[in-house]
Amino acid sequence: MKNQMSRGEFLRLGSLSLAGTLVSDLAFANDFFSNNNPSKEDILLMQKLISSNDAKVKIILSKALTEPGIRISNFRPIAGAITVLAASISNSKSEYYKSESVAQKLNQAVDILLKEQYNDGTLDAGGNRQSPPDTAFILEYICPAAVLLNVSKQKDLAEIKDKLKKFIQNAGEAMTTGGVHTPNHRWVICAALASINSLYPDARYVQRIDQWLAEGIYLNEDGHYSERSGVYSAVIDKALITMARLLNRPQLLDIVNKNLTTYFYYTETNGDLVTVDSKRQDQFMNIKVNKFYLQYRYMAIHTKNPMFVYMVKLIESLPEFNSDILPDSLAFFMENPELQKEIPVEGKVANDFEKFFAVSNLARIRRGKSSMTLFGGNDKPLQVVSGRSSNPNFLMYRKGDAILKYMRLSTSFFRLGYFSSDGIVKEGNKYILKEIKEGDYYQPLAPEFRKADGDYKLSPSPDGRFWNKMDFDSRVKSNVKLQTTIIEITENNGALNLDFKVDGPPNVEVTIEMCFSEGTIIKGAEQDVKKNYFLKSGSGETSSTVDTIQFGPGKCEHYNVENLDSEEYTYHQGSLRTSGEHVYITGFTPFYHKMTIS
């Protein structure tokens, strides 16, 4: 379990450091191994956590844990309730300390888990049947609860503690043998095993952890894990911190350090995360950075990195902190007293940067109130499936509370859908995005491939638009059409100059789509009966609470703004169109247009 790393070995990890961190690996290591800087407890924060936890206990006590006749398919609410109840009944400053009603509710909740646990130690989770990784997510709540109850030494909790032990050890069997689906599942299972091992030591748990760790933890030069997902980066960071802490493996924190640095640049000033480059479901979701709170707080205390301190203070200033963090975090602060320490330094960081993540083909630029994201890093060929990047948004722009959620470009060229750049090339302060689309026709089969019954292989067309029993692989392509789209974007003190060029067959419809936040007032553009705006000429302007975005000049040569998605979506009546105020600029190939956003 010890697996101690020498101080010299840890310092050598400095070669992995990510450019842009505001603290050196040397300082990080010195701080990690030093106990000369004891911090005071953050008394005010702990009071808020206890109060919020007690408020949630009151709600839990007022309701039934399950609904009669409804089978449970998601056990996280039950596990979360156990964690919240355990925190209050174990905390001497809680109004529910040693509460009999809390003990009864805890007993009921644990009984539910035991009743639903399969003989192999697993639980179901939605469509995932007898799922080891989903059971590991449940243990993320249950193990801290067990730690708190074990420490409390309350005699009337003995039965509950025994039941929790039974559930956890049963689950431990599944963790030592069970498989996974996705990259992050490996580390969630490892963290669960580390937590189980800290409660009930068993060499098999550590052996299984080492088996997974032997695969290597992927982190690219941009500081991203393989899924490049805000949701799952938070999950992995939490898992690695758990392993580092409970297995005494501080080298894992160097990985967390780099990923958290990246997400500093991916965070808007209102806490929104940039997710356009994710390979998972959050590439089409709006999520907040509050998912990283415990991770940033733990690392801020360890490293004293002003960047991490800033992120902690930012998250604590968000409304979501009161609604999502405070009611559910007391147990984790009690289980890991490190989190209770006051943040040691002020989080002062420059609010002006340009950061190009070359591996992800994403650029982040901030100039005061203006924030910009450029993206051209989809996985090719494009496929709509979890695990691949396919978001067509190539530009996002914010100025305070005025938000251009995204800009896209689509053409009617063989209905191949939205522009999706083949990466980004950076030349000075200019970013160049480029894509070549190909549309094909097909010649008759050569005699050696013909079949008298016409029953040919069902296969996809080379351009990926459709499948047919045409044996496309055996046919010669002809009448090949190419369309080249180039978008050059230049940033100048918060303003973006865009130069669009779309060349290829003539008379192809081109549509530039801008989607602003819901409720934004659009000026300078004309609205049709479907509430679409068309910027026909001149400049447009948004009007929000405080700030404005100007864009233009416009151009309008057609009104066909339906079915901008590829047939992969439209064949099933699907669409990537989102809620918001949509403004269109349209034309035909050859299409050349310059505009500014500021």
Give residue-wise pLDDT tens across range 210-234. Answer: 999 999 999 999 999 999 999 999 9
What is the structure's pLDDT at 38? 60
Contacts of 64 (CB under 8 A, 6+ apart): none
Which of 340, 375, 405 is a domain's end point? 340
410 and 307 fall within a common domain: no
Mean pLDDT of 3-17: 38
pLDDT band at 571 (very low <50, low <70, confident <90, very high): confident
| Alpha-carbon separation of residue 442 from 190, 439, 468, 480, 485 (angstroms) | 52, 10, 13, 9, 24
Mean pLDDT of the residues in the chain: 92
161 and 284 fall within a common domain: yes
Q: Is residue 101 part of a domain?
A: yes
pLDDT > 70? residue 394: yes
Give the least confident one: 276-285, 290-299, 343-352: 343-352
What is the structure's pLDDT at 464? 80
Q: Is residue 16 part of a domain?
A: no
Which of 310, 340, 370 is a domain's end point? 340
Structure-token match 């494009």, residue found: 382
Q: Is residue 471 part of a domain?
A: no
pLDDT > 50? residue 577: yes
Query: Quick check: 530 and 562 in contact, CB under 8 A?
Result: no
| Alpha-carbon separation of residue 10 from 225, 247, 258, 420 (angstroms) | 21, 15, 15, 41
What is the structure's pLDDT at 9? 40
- Kindly report, residue by residue over 311-334, the tens digit of the pLDDT: 999 999 999 999 999 999 999 999
Q: Is residue 243 part of a domain?
A: yes
CATH number for 289:
1.50.10.100
pLDDT-above-70 percentage for the chain: 94
360 and 307 fall within a common domain: no
Mean pLDDT of 25-47: 61
pLDDT band at 384 (very low <50, low <70, confident <90, very high): confident
200 and 324 fall within a common domain: yes
Other beta carbons less than 10 A from residue 485's beta carbon? 23
Mean pLDDT of 200-216: 98
365 and 309 fall within a common domain: no
Half-sphere exposure in the Cβ direction for 73 (13 Å, CA):
6
Mean pLDDT of 129-153: 96
* Antiparallel, parallel or unpaired: β 352-357 and 362-367: antiparallel
Torsion of CA 66, 71, 75, 76, to 10 degrees: -70
317 and 228 fall within a common domain: yes
Mean pLDDT of 235-261: 98
Query: Quick check: 352 and 366 in contact, CB under 8 A?
Result: yes
59 and 169 fall within a common domain: yes
163 and 231 fall within a common domain: yes
Q: Identify the CA nearest to 5 among candidates 198, 252, 175, 226.
A: 252
The sign of the CA dihedral 49, 51, 57, 62 is: negative
What are the tokens at 230?
């805000």
* Antiparallel, parallel or unpaired: β 581-588 and 533-534: parallel
Give the least confident one: 277-281, 288-292, 367-371, 384-388: 384-388
**Strand, helix or coil for residue 327:** helix
415 and 303 fall within a common domain: no
Q: Is residue 319 part of a domain?
A: yes
Which of 340, 374, 393 is a domain's end point? 340
How many whole angstroms separate alpha carbon 584 and alpha carbon 588? 13
- Total domains present in the chain: 2
Q: Is residue 307 part of a domain?
A: yes
365 and 288 fall within a common domain: no
- Kindly report, residue by residue over 16-31, the tens digit of the pLDDT: 333 333 333 333 334 4
What is the structure's pLDDT at 587? 98
Mean pLDDT of 373-399: 93
64 and 195 fall within a common domain: yes
Residue 193: Cβ-neighbour burial (10 angstroms; 0-12, 13-18, 19+) = buried
- pTM across the whole model: 0.91
Structure-token match 């190939």, residue found: 589
Residue 113: Cβ-neighbour burial (10 angstroms; 0-12, 13-18, 19+) = buried
- Kindly report, residue by residue over 499-547, the tens digit of the pLDDT: 999 999 999 999 999 999 999 999 999 999 999 999 999 999 998 778 9
**Strand, helix or coil for residue 545:** coil
Q: Is residue 562 part of a domain?
A: yes
Q: Is residue 432 part of a domain?
A: yes
How many whole angstroms separate alpha carbon 281 and alpha carbon 287? 11
- Kindly report, residue by residue over 100-125, the tens digit of the pLDDT: 999 999 999 999 999 999 999 999 99
What are the tokens at 504?
């290829």
Half-sphere exposure in the Cβ direction for 166 (13 Å, CA):
15
What is the structure's pLDDT at 234? 98
505 and 579 fall within a common domain: yes
The sign of the CA dihedral 467, 471, 477, 478 is: negative
Domain encompassing residue 415: 353-442+479-597
